Amino acid sequence: MCGIVGYVGGREAREVLIDGLKRLEYRGYDSAGLALGSGEDLLIFKEVGKVVELERMLQEVPAGSHQGIGHTRWATHGGVSQVNAHPHKDGSGRFAVVHNGIIENYSELKDELEREGVIFLSQTDTEAIVHLVATSFSRTGDILETLVYLQKRLRGTFALALMWQDRPNSIYAIRRGSPLVLGSSEGEAFCASDIPAFLPYTRRVQYLEEGDIAEASPSGIKIWDEKGRPVERPVVTVDWDVTLTGKSGFSHYMLKEIYEQGAALRRSLKGRVVDGKTTVSRELGWNVEMVSKWKKIHIVACGSSYYSALAAERLLEKWTDLEIKVDIASEYRYRHIPCDTSTLAVFVSQSGETADTLAALRKAKAGGAHCLAITNVSSSTMAREVHSLLLLEAGPEIGVAATKSFTSQLAALFMVALQLGSMRGSLAPHEEERLVDELVRIPHKVELLLEKESEVREIARKYTGSKNMLFIGRGMSFPVAQEGALKLKEISYIHAEALAAGEMKHGPIALLEPEMPVLAVIPRDSLYEKTLSNMQEIKARNASLIAVCTEGDSLVPEQAGSVIEIPWTAEEFTPFLTVIPLQFLSFHIGSILGREIDQPRNLAKSVTVE
């Protein structure tokens, strides 16, 4: 995934673009670049590394440009190099393009263009776009006709911003399959992959639809559909608080977002669990007749979102009579799984832009399923393509590692499960009341637990030299063990693996040795004794044990060298609490190792390419 930004107006373009790229850096940071209009020609500046490297390069460049496009890259086609960094120009230097997405037929286009004498400088698919623009413009002489033709030729996904030397007061933008929003205010206009890029300058936003072509200029924004017909897109005023996208004094976004979880959960629950009942059916547009028709539920996601779905699976089994299937999106989209009007298909995605999850959504929708998105971004592609939408309300999550979005996804999924159980009559009212009564206490219990950060930091110090770590858990704790292993991998780069605790003796126990720490997620629940036995087996083989257990536990400390205690909660809701120490553990091990916590190597906040 990459971040693109464009600006035209009275400000110093490079300042707006650099500021915007820094706000989009969570989307990818292998290299960065920008093109500035300077009247005579388009000046290109690009550098490997993060935006700050590009900023350094620009210090020598004279000011005075008021038109530009910028890009921060997560490499797909072509390695990380200056020549592969965006923007890319055509041979004549009259056009420059930045792109987020993947052009699936780029080899075919490249062959065709090379036969016409075009010389490629990079290994990127994006370069084929700018050459195609130049060659078709030389035939048509009309920019809109050229961009309509471009869409006909390109296969794949693309959000594009384009500059044309002959239009020093315009930026062109096209959106298909990758997010692109427009911003405008008096005498200036913006385009970007995501709203935070230009939020300090304007709150007036227009969302492009699939296939839309736009021309943004200081006098306003014109939009056409993919056939070149003028269209109107509503201007909305976003009420995001700009400070929400800052670090508010924390060292890293990840730490800030770990601490925000109590407040984020309160926002996720607000108005949705009232007087012992779940009320999300209203915003989902569900009625009893509709809900009674469903026979199965598919939940599809990637990464941390998949692990929150696995936790929900166990509760849906308990609270509903539905047949449940939870799958990884990149698998689900290619499998032959029956899906029809009797299916409720749920797509969990913080960004609402993950390519595999989006493809799975479109497959299920085509199959006739009722599609529900659980996402944190109301303007996301997923949010706009489903039948029902449940927003996390967690506030922007900038750190690449999912933290508050994971616990808010748990809350959203659990409310959906409660709602399905109560509407289908498979969950008794008194049981729903018991559960809701505990659910509304979770935000406070999370906040109590956040006070244990320093305890976890001390434990983290012991494990910064580890090369591997095992995470084990049963029932509701197994998905948490999986999430904890992922956090450690993506933040500290230490290899970690999660196992169902009962699986240890089926092979993995052979791995045990003093250098192989094992973290057991063992709250007081119905499987506690089983996991305690596993801990005894592990201890007997001299591996070092860390444990996350319920306050007051006297048996676990006999097995584990390091213990983090969590407040008691109902078995169904232990994931909200057991995950917090794992978030802190990965953060502190990563910090001690000097890792790029908010922007780990090779990662991006949302993977909008397959």
606 binds ligand AGP (CB under 6 A): yes
Question: 57 and 45 in contact (C-beta within 8 Å)?
Answer: yes
Nearest distance, CB of residue 349 and ligand AGP, angstroms: 3
> How many residues lie near ligand AGP (CB under 6 A)?
15
189 forms bridges with which residues in the sheet? 8, 184
Q: Please say if 2 is a catalytic residue.
A: yes
585 binds ligand AGP (CB under 6 A): no
608 binds ligand AGP (CB under 6 A): no
Residue nearest to ligand AGP (CB): 303
**Strand 67-73 relative to strand 31-37, pairing:** antiparallel
The label of the residue with tokens 């434990």 reads 459
Tokens of 15: 């300042």
Nearest CA among 445, 435, 441, 443 for reference residue 276: 435
Q: Please say if 302 is a catalytic residue.
A: no
Among 109, 401, 472, 566, binds ligand AGP (CB under 6 A): 401
279, 422, 448 from 270: Cα distances, Å: 10, 19, 20
Residue closer to ligand AGP by CB (options 183, 399) is 399
Residue closer to ligand AGP by CB (options 381, 534) is 381
* Phi, psi for residue 225 in degrees, rounded to 5: -85, -175
Nearest distance, CB of residue 603 and ligand AGP, angstroms: 6
Catalytic residue among 46, 110, 487, 605: 605
Nearest distance, CB of residue 276 and ligand AGP, angstroms: 30
28 binds ligand AGP (CB under 6 A): no
DSSP state of 178: S
CA dihedral 430, 432, 434, 438 (to 10 degrees): -170
Interacting positions 221-250 with ligand AGP (CB under 6 A): none
Among 490, 525, 553, 572, binds ligand AGP (CB under 6 A): 490
Among 8, 264, 386, 400, binds ligand AGP (CB under 6 A): 400
Region near ligand AGP per CB under 6 A, out of 171-179, 191-199, 302-310, 581-589? 302-310
Residue closer to ligand AGP by CB (options 360, 566) is 360
Residues near 32 by beta carbon (within 8 Å), at least 6 away in sequence:
21, 46, 47, 49, 50, 51, 53, 54, 70, 71, 72, 73, 85
Nearest CA among 63, 64, 65 for reference residue 6: 65
Question: 471 and 442 in contact (C-beta within 8 Å)?
Answer: no
Amino acid found at 428:
A
Residue closer to ligand AGP by CB (options 350, 550) is 350
Site map for ligand AGP, 354-373, x if CB under 6 A? x--x----------------
CA dihedral 422, 425, 430, 434 (to 10 degrees): -40
Q: Give the orientation angle of helix 404-423 with respect to helix 574-592, to 10 degrees.
A: 170
Residue closer to ligand AGP by CB (options 106, 576) is 576
Catalytic residue among 2, 339, 371, 549: 2
Nearest CA among 364, 376, 328, 307 for reference residue 606: 376
Region near ligand AGP per CB under 6 A, out of 26-34, 344-352, 429-437, 452-460? 344-352
520 forms bridges with which residues in the sheet? 472, 547
Interacting positions 304-333 with ligand AGP (CB under 6 A): 304-305
* Phi, psi for residue 378 in degrees, rounded to 5: -65, -25
122 binds ligand AGP (CB under 6 A): no
350 binds ligand AGP (CB under 6 A): yes
Q: Let me know if 336 is exposed, middle or buried by CB neighbors in 10 A (0-12, 13-18, 19+).
A: exposed
Residue closer to ligand AGP by CB (options 127, 356) is 356
Nearest CA among 380, 4, 16, 3 for reference residue 185: 16
Residue closer to ligand AGP by CB (options 395, 421) is 395
381 binds ligand AGP (CB under 6 A): no
Among 173, 181, 205, 302, binds ligand AGP (CB under 6 A): 302
Region near ligand AGP per CB under 6 A, out of 85-93, 303-311, 386-394, 473-481? 303-311
199 binds ligand AGP (CB under 6 A): no
Residue closer to ligand AGP by CB (options 223, 607) is 607
397 binds ligand AGP (CB under 6 A): no
Half-sphere exposure of 420 (CA within 13 A, CB side): 26
Q: Give the footprint of ligand AGP on this chain (CB under 6 A).
A: 302-305, 349-351, 354, 357, 400-402, 490, 606-607
Active centre residues (catalytic) = 2, 605
